[in-house]
Amino acid sequence: MLRYIVRRLISMIPVFIGITAIVFLIMSLIPGDPATAILGSYATPENVANLNAKLGLDKPLVQRYLIWLGNLAQGDFGRSFSLNRPVLDEILERFNATLVLSGTAYLLCSFFGILAGLISAARQYEISDKLITFTVLIGISVPSFFLGMMLIVFFTVQLRWLPASGMFAIYGGGDFVDLLRHLIMPAFALSFVATGVIARLSRSTMLEVLRLEYIRTARAKGVKEFRVITRHAFRSAIVTILPVLGLQAGFVLSGSVYIEIVFQWPGIGRMLVDAILTRDILLVQGGVVFVAFCYVFFNLAVDVLQLWLDPRITRR
Amino acid sequence: MIDFIRKIVRNRLAGLGLIVLFSIFVLAILTPLLPLAPPNEIDTPNRFLLPFSDNALLGTDHLGRDLLSRLLWGTQLSLAVGFVAAFIAGFFGSLLGIVAGYMGGRTDSLIMRSVDILMAFPYILLALAIVAALGPGLLNALIAVAVVNIPFFARNVRGVAVTLAQADFIQSARLSGRSNISILVFELLPNVASVIIIAFSTTVGWMILETAGLSFLGLGSQPPQADLGSMLGEARAALITNPHTSIIPGIMIFLIVMGINLLGDGIRDALDPRLAKGQLEKPSPLTRVSDSLRKSPPIAGTANNAVMEINHLSTNFEVGEVVNKAVRDVSFSINSGECLGLVGESGSGKSVTALSLTRLVASPPGVVVSGSVRISDQELINLPYESVRAIRGRRVAYIFQDPLTSLHPLHRIGQQLTEAMSTHSRGANSVFIDRAKHLLGEVRIPNPERVMEAYPHQLSGGMRQRIGIAMALANDPDLIIADEPTTALDVTVQAQILAILNDLRQQRGLSVLFISHDLNVMAQICDRVAVMYAGEIVEMGRTLDILEHPKHPYTVGLLACSPQIGQGRQNLQPIAGMPLAGHESLNACAFANRCSRVQPVCQKQLVEIVDMDSQSVRCLFPVVES
Amino acid sequence: MTKQILEVRNISKAFPISRGWFGFNKQQLRAVRAISLSVHKGQTLGVIGESGCGKTTLARMLVGLQLPDAGEIIINDQNLQRLDPVQRGRAIQYVFQDPISSLNPRMTVGRSLETPLRCLHNLTSAQRKAAIAEIIHAVKLPVDSLARYPHEFSGGQAQRISIARALLAQSPLIVLDEPVSALDVSVQAQIIELLTEIKQEFDLTYIFISHDLAVIEAFCDQVAVMYFGEIVEYGDCSQVLMEPRHPYTRLLASSAPQIGKSLIAESGIGQLPDPLDPPEGCSFAARCPYSTNECIQLQTPRQMTGNSNYVICHHPIANQE
């Protein structure tokens, strides 16, 4: 097990290099130079050249990449010119907020998605299956940002139950209940789509597994149907569902960008969109790389879990 | 094509999706011709008109622009962008996937590693990075969405292409002299096409959502031009005061994507061969019994010394209108301590008969339509689930053909054995564990302690089948049904398994129903044999009698065409023709069309099974030795 | 004796099991080790062995679907590795075990059958039609088969189509890889009868691979018994199977169920050695009732047991008695 983890960690080095290289390459495609963006269009050519030299932008591409990579390795993500503070500080602060939102949504969609799929498969063609299938269909068809907006219209404007923006109330908030009140709508909107995807997958996987011969063996042994579904069929299905659950984390993270905009959530997605609009390249670069790294590590954790759940792959 | 659409529309929701999508498409195409207000004409005094106002059917937005007009133009734009992005992603992704999957080796690793790296980004990050680099704009958003989705196609298509590249028909095309390119285009592509279409139809919806999302963030279409996403984005500022400006484009996106998803499901269902065979339906825990049989259940018969008695059992496979009669009117009984063999070729109904006995035939499509199955004096056919469950594994236990697929891959051997016991009796787990080890010893497994901890994949085929036998013995059942227990094994292993079964049978006085296609195997272990053909028992009797004095022409033919070892070079005498297809209804002898002794009368009437000497034969002109 | 049509010299094959990025960290899985064979024109050589003995790898190397790591394959005095795919296709053909999966599911049978004629022989459309008509008749398929798709056929009929395709390549040598294993006994006999007929008609030479002793005995002239990637015994078919000299051959023969004879089962577990870590001496030693220290430690010698018959064993059975 430990050897596997170590091996996987080593094999992630090329992934990290690939990620940083792609991000760096894309960012270097940006026309114009950051110095002009920072100094404004009235800057003298001398000032621009000076700043470029100071930022290391006069060096060749590969060298600049290596310098940036070296800095990253030391935890130096550079300085955001639009916010005038270190990129990493801003990222860490924002990422906390994103983690609260995405993490909640992710737990919700994993739990309810699998549960819905399980029920749906076990009661195929019954009323509960039809109800779930219908809800799931809406889930995968509605844009999460639109759903968020409709939640605001209904729960904030019409019913005045829940706050529509931010993470905490500006006055007198800050406790856990306050956070929860702010979290409910965005987390629901964010998880709804992913729940649908997971539920569909779980249902079809369960149905496939239920046709397999070892399920027939379990029934031939006289095992109770509930146990056949849970201990036999679901035990196998989860091995298929888990990798998709890992990928789904990416979808939740992606969706959080929209939701953060709609609900004014002070997360990393909103930071990125703002940074793109202000052309704050270092902030975009840093943010993208940081989140991608987290995502890769998360998927490593999923793989380890997979290894633990499926003894057939231990030999690797 | 029309046939294909009909197949899709068979799923009614997909038909609905098709109609919704088709209407939206027509509207989008006709938009330039419709008498609409100009979409970008600003009319600030008339801003935020509500729907159904004069001159503005759907009202106006924050600049007083006509919402209906903007909606239709926006729809057109969103559809166009979404589909173009999907086509680009589908084309390049599939190309990469096919090449990687077919070429394999270094090419494959290079492509797939790159794809892995792209997939290491949550998709929107990559899209945002691309848009950041290229600058906001609809075309750039399109490029971003397309690029981000390439890995998805590449992965899916590659997965299928890898399997196909190893497929026999690709290899034989190579042996027939086809070049690589020609194999890719003519042999591989047509077989991958359905996967590409499925992937496409299930992702177009996503792509439309994603482009709308980028526009919503202000990174896609730029004012005054608006697609549905940017309409929503612009309306967000007025969400609280004038929600209708948000709701209208939002619902349009929802309708489009839902239509695509519904249709996509239909397309997937139509293209997936497993669905046609009903393989994605949950088999019920108990084979369905036909309504007529349920209404008039079999009458309890006289008890005799048989462990199990089967009378006039018939089982069908019913898929839609097609009825396949797998087992027709089968009767036999198994006496205590006896091994009865059920022999027949594939499709003869021997396995379905075996599974029907405890109603284990997957249903759908299986239906028991007639007959009775009696164990001691209990009738199984009309028993409720809970009572049948109590019999399964306890009084009637099964050994299945392929021990790899019939053992649970993720449960330890010990777990699987003890579960068989704990299902039917209460007791301490340690008692079950001891008993399981003892059973493993009985099937001659050398190291029970270690095997208890193992998973099935860690054992050889022979070992796995020993476990299958041990599991069947777990509750001292009255009857063991062994369904081709040695067919998946090598000869040397088969000999061992047969020896184990035979010894156990004698030591414990087991009653066994042994199913096989191999008369030679039958001869080793069975006291009596029933020969099945086309769902019927055609001959039944003591093993030696059947082997030495076969009376039914089919049994005679079967013996003549099975090669025997120790006979040297020999010409086998094949039985001409092919077995009856199961759905043909029977009004003649089932073997008549292949029989060398056929008479006109054989084609005209059903043949009953009759006793003859010590055997029973279903033949009007049985073989009598001179 | 007739002319030698195929000669295999010391071919071997191991599969690298690669793991990790870009396939570092390789291990070798031995499939076939140092096999030599020869087949004369008009003969049928049977290759028998259980799963994992390497018989399919051998067959695939013979037709060029896999390249041997070492050794040579000579067909009609030409080295197979030096032939281009078209020449190779004309020299040797292959019939797969699973007849349905060896036909492209999206192609009509007619188009599948045309492929070898077009790609190997550059025939015109009219010539192709004539050739197909002739072969369809020879393998006793209904004429309307050509317009149909593979899934419409039963296993036996599909195997006839595969055989027809191999015939259309007009190669004198055909490798039959378990051609009847997937079929029912009654159909199996039909296919064997067909193979016998066309062998006469088209003057063919066969290499017939099977795990079924009885089928091999009924159909073949010579037999090569494979165990764990090697030929352990070779010779005249009936001689080898009736009086096996190698303990493994005898085990095979006694394990095959036979009407009127009770089984003799091997007492141990009977597993193959680990292919990732093959033993140094005889690979059967661990299962062999006659094995001695010699067998475990030393390379096993080849002993001639007849004209061309041989056995690879330290203690062949007859020598002990």
**A99-129 pLDDT tens trace:** 999 999 999 999 999 999 999 999 888 899 9
Sign of CA dihedral A89, A91, A92, A98: positive
Percentage of the residues of chain B whose pLDDT score is greater than 90: 49
At residue B314, φ and ψ (nearest 5 deg) are: -130, 135
Span B446-454, average pLDDT: 91
> What secondary structure does DSSP assign to B279-311, as a single string?
TTSPPPSS-EE-HHHHHSPPPP----SEEEEEE
Percentage of the residues of chain B whose pLDDT score is greater than 70: 97
Kind of pairing between the strands at C4-17 and C70-75: antiparallel
Exposure string of B281-302, with b = 16+ CB inside 10 Å and e = fewer, is bbbbbbbbbeeebeeeebeeee
Q: Which of A301-310, B94-103, B561-570, C281-290 has the highest mean pLDDT?
A: B94-103
Q: How far is C206 from chain B (nearest CA, A)?
A: 15
Lowest-pLDDT range of A7-16, A181-190, C110-119, C218-227: A7-16
Q: Give the separation between CA B368 and CA B357, rounded to whole angstroms.
A: 10
**Residue C28 confidence class, pLDDT cut points 50, 70, 90:** confident
Tell me what pLDDT residue B291 has. 86
Disruptive mutation site among B410, B415, B455 for chain A (greatest number of A CBs within 10 Å) = B410
**Residue A5 confidence class, pLDDT cut points 50, 70, 90:** confident
The answer to whether C316 touches C245, Cβ cutoff 8 Å, is yes
Q: What is the CATH number of domain C4-18+27-257+265-319?
A: 3.40.50.300
Span B331-347, average pLDDT: 92
Tell me what pLDDT residue B389 has. 94
Of B113, B175, B495, the CB nearest to C266: B495
Predicted ipTM? 0.90
Tell me the per-residue pLDDT of B568-599, one tens digit each, with 9 for 90 and over: 788 888 888 877 766 566 788 889 888 988 89
Span C260-289, average pLDDT: 81
Interchain proximity A11–C19, CB inside 8 Å: no
User: Tokens 């439309």 map to which residue?
Assistant: B208
The answer to whether C155 touches C183, Cβ cutoff 8 Å, is yes
**Residue C160 confidence class, pLDDT cut points 50, 70, 90:** very high
DSSP C146: G
Interface check C199 vs B, CB under 8 A: no
**Residue B511 confidence class, pLDDT cut points 50, 70, 90:** very high
Tell me what pLDDT residue A316 has. 41
Q: Which residues of B touch C65 (CB under 8 A)?
A: 171, 174-175
> What secondary structure does DSSP assign to B360-412, as a single string?
-S-TTTEEEEEEEEEETTEESTT--HHHHHHHBTTTEEEE-S-HHHHS-TTS-
Tell me what pLDDT residue B583 has. 56
Count of beta carbons in the 10 Å neighbourhood of residue A224: 16
Lowest-pLDDT range of A44-53, B216-225, B420-429, C284-293: A44-53
Tell me what pLDDT residue C320 has. 43
Which other chains touch chain A, taking contact as 3+ CB pairs less than 8 Å apart? B, C
**Residue B475 confidence class, pLDDT cut points 50, 70, 90:** very high
- Specify the 3-state DSSP secondary structure of C309: coil
From A7, which residue of chain C is nearest by alpha-carbon distance?
C20
Tell me what pLDDT residue B278 has. 58
Span C58-68, average pLDDT: 92
Disruptive mutation site among B253, B277, B408 for chain A (greatest number of A CBs within 10 Å) = B408
Interface check C215 vs B, CB under 8 A: yes
- Which element (helix H / strand E) includes C48? strand C44-48
Lowest-pLDDT range of A27-36, B79-88, B239-248, B365-374: A27-36
The answer to whether B357 touches B396, Cβ cutoff 8 Å, is yes
Q: Which residues of B touch C270 (CB under 8 A)?
A: 462, 492-493, 496
Set out the domains of chain B in order of their start, with CATH numbers: 2-27+58-275 (1.10.3720.10), 282-336+345-390+527-626 (3.40.50.300)
The answer to whether A71 touches A64, Cβ cutoff 8 Å, is no
Interchain proximity B393–A223, CB inside 8 Å: yes
The answer to whether A251 touches A105, Cβ cutoff 8 Å, is no
Any idea where the domains of chain C sit in the sequence?
Answer: 4-18+27-257+265-319
Interchain proximity C20–A7, CB inside 8 Å: yes
Interchain proximity B410–A150, CB inside 8 Å: no
Q: How far is C276 from chain A (nearest CA, A)?
A: 13
Average pLDDT of chain B? 88
One-letter amino acid of A27? M
**Residue C275 confidence class, pLDDT cut points 50, 70, 90:** confident
Q: Give the separation between CA C312 and CA C292, rounded to whole angstroms.
A: 15
- Specify the 3-state DSSP secondary structure of C78: strand
Tell me what pLDDT residue A101 has. 95
Q: How far is C256 from chain B (nearest CA, A)?
A: 6
Tell me what pLDDT residue C22 has. 45
Does residue B282 register a pLDDT over 90? no
Q: Which residues of A touch B118 (CB under 8 A)?
A: 22
Strand partners, B614: none
Tell me the per-residue pLDDT of B366-383, one tens digit each, with 9 for 90 and over: 999 999 998 877 888 888
In C33-62, the residues whose Cβ lies within 8 Å of chain B are: 50-51
Tell me what pLDDT residue B299 has. 66
Of C274 and C231, the one with more pLDDT? C231
Interchain proximity C190–B574, CB inside 8 Å: yes
- Specify the 3-state DSSP secondary structure of B540: strand
Cα A107 to chain centroid, rounded:
12
Closest-CA residue to C220 (of C230, C208, C231): C208
Lowest-pLDDT range of A63-77, B335-349, B436-450: A63-77
Q: Give the separation between CA C61 and CA C81, rounded to whole angstroms.
A: 10
- Specify the 3-state DSSP secondary structure of C299: coil
Q: Give the separation between CA A236 and CA A244, rounded to whole angstroms.
A: 14
Of C89, C96, C193, the CB nearest to B574: C193
CA distances from B574 to B191, B468, B571, C197 (A): 36, 35, 9, 13
- Specify the 3-state DSSP secondary structure of B121: coil
Radius of gyration of chain B (CA): 33
**Residue B273 confidence class, pLDDT cut points 50, 70, 90:** low
Tell me the per-residue pLDDT of C234-246, one tens digit each, with 9 for 90 and over: 999 988 988 899 9
Span C55-70, average pLDDT: 92
Interface check B561 vs C, CB under 8 A: yes
Tell me what pLDDT residue C202 has. 93
The tokens for B419 are 């579960």
Disruptive mutation site among A25, A217, A290 for chain B (greatest number of B CBs within 10 Å) = A217
Q: Which residues of A touch C21 (CB under 8 A)?
A: 11, 14
3-class DSSP string for chain A: CHHHHHHHHHHHHHHHHHHHHHHHHHHHCCCCCHHHHHHCCCCCHHHHHHHHHHCCCCCCHHHHHHHHHHHHHCCCCCEECCCCEEHHHHHHHHHHHHHHHHHHHHHHHHHHHHHHHHHHHHCCCCHHHHHHHHHHHHHHHCCHHHHHHHHHHHHHHHCCCCCCCCCCCCCCCCCHHHHHHHHHHHHHHHHHHHHHHHHHHHHHHHHHHHCCHHHHHHHHCCCCHHHHHHHHHHHHHHHHHHHHHHHHHHHHHHHHHHHHHHCCCCCHHHHHHHHHHCCCHHHHHHHHHHHHHHHHHHHHHHHHHHHHHCHHHCCC
User: Tokens 């031009």 map to which residue?
Assistant: B225
From A315, which residue of chain C is nearest by alpha-carbon distance?
C19
Span C17-27, average pLDDT: 55
One-letter amino acid of A95? F
Q: How far is B18 from chain A (nearest CA, A)?
A: 15
At residue B485, φ and ψ (nearest 5 deg) are: -70, -15
Disruptive mutation site among A219, A227, A241, A314 for chain B (greatest number of B CBs within 10 Å) = A219
Tell me the per-residue pLDDT of C40-52, one tens digit each, with 9 for 90 and over: 999 999 999 998 8
From C264, which residue of chain B is nearest by alpha-carbon distance?
B495
Does residue A41 register a pLDDT over 70? no
Tell me the per-residue pLDDT of B39-66, one tens digit each, with 9 for 90 and over: 888 888 888 888 887 777 788 888 888 8
Q: How far is A11 from chain C (nearest CA, A)?
A: 7
Strand partners, B536: B533
Tell me what pLDDT residue C178 has. 92
Does residue C181 register a pLDDT over 80? yes
CA distances from B447 to A77, A258, B146, B410, B439 (A): 59, 59, 57, 20, 12
Tell me what pLDDT residue A188 has. 94
At residue B541, φ and ψ (nearest 5 deg) are: 175, -175
From B279, which residue of chain A is nearest by alpha-carbon distance?
A211
Interchain proximity B279–A211, CB inside 8 Å: yes
Tell me what pLDDT residue B304 has. 66
Span A21-45, average pLDDT: 75
How many contacts does A have with B, using Cβ atoms within 8 A? 235
Tell me the per-residue pLDDT of A161-203, one tens digit each, with 9 for 90 and over: 888 787 777 776 678 888 888 899 999 999 998 999 999 999 9
Tell me what pLDDT residue B582 has. 62
Does residue C19 register a pLDDT over 60? no
Percentage of the residues of chain C whose pLDDT score is greater than 70: 96
Tell me the per-residue pLDDT of C202-216, one tens digit each, with 9 for 90 and over: 999 999 999 999 999
Lowest-pLDDT range of A207-211, A293-297, B4-8, C147-151: B4-8
**Residue A34 confidence class, pLDDT cut points 50, 70, 90:** low
Tell me what pLDDT residue B276 has. 59
Q: How far is B327 from chain A (nearest CA, A)?
A: 20
Q: How far is C213 from chain B (nearest CA, A)?
A: 7
CA distances from B313 to B64, B316, B374, B537, B588 (A): 77, 10, 11, 11, 19
Interface check A273 vs B, CB under 8 A: yes
Tell me what pLDDT residue C321 has. 41
**Residue C21 confidence class, pLDDT cut points 50, 70, 90:** very low
Interchain proximity C193–B524, CB inside 8 Å: no
CA distances from B206 to A203, A205, B148, B200, C231 (A): 20, 21, 11, 10, 57
Tell me what pLDDT residue C1 has. 58
Tell me the per-residue pLDDT of A257-274, one tens digit each, with 9 for 90 and over: 999 999 999 999 999 988
User: Tokens 């009596």 map to which residue?
Assistant: B528
The tokens for C12 are 């071997």
The answer to whether C173 touches C75, Cβ cutoff 8 Å, is yes
Interchain proximity B358–A220, CB inside 8 Å: yes
Tell me what pLDDT residue C27 has. 72
Q: Give the separation between CA C73 and CA C6, rounded to whole angstroms.
A: 7
Kind of pairing between the strands at C173-177 and C205-210: parallel
